[in-house]
Amino acid sequence: MYEIIQKLHSGWAYVASLLLVIAVVNSIIGLVSKKEYKDTDKKIGLFALGAIHTQAVIGLILYFVSPIGFSGFSMSDSALRLTSMEHPLINIIGIVLMTIGWVKHKKLTSSESKFKTVAIYYGLGLLLILSRVPWGLWFK
């Protein structure tokens, strides 16, 4: 069961990352070109947020069924620390940032401020997530 969830977590990461990159690029393009914020833009941001939340749920399930589990709290092994502590913690912070950005953008009225908020919060979340991906394990 662990291997299946791990493959799902790794595979879904491609989808979630791609949607997140699309949402950030779309927001930057909308901001720079001074486009009107439309339903399509809202859907792109929402799909990215949904995909990243799904990834987080799969990751949390994986964390608790993992044979490694909480053993990563030993700070001696950097690879184990990355997968057991840094990766989950930093990714949760990134997802919280994106969620805050989504909530804030819904309250705004101007297109420019909506695009700017999504670009900043989703962009920071994306940077945090990419900073703690265990790249060596992802491409195996």
d(CA 96, CA 125) in angstroms, rounded, equals 8
d(CA 21, CA 27) in angstroms, rounded, equals 10
d(CA 123, CA 117) in angstroms, rounded, equals 10
Note the pTM of the prediction, 2 decimals.
0.89
Q: How far is CA 37 from the centre of its chain?
A: 22
d(CA 52, CA 44) in angstroms, rounded, equals 12
Give 93-118 pLDDT, tens digit per residue. 999 999 999 999 999 999 999 999 99
Give 26-81 pLDDT, tens digit per residue. 999 999 999 999 999 999 999 999 999 999 999 999 888 877 665 555 667 777 77
Reported as a pLDDT band with limits 50, 70 and 90, residue 2 is confident
By CB atoms closer than 10 A (0-12, 13-18, 19+), residue 105 is: buried
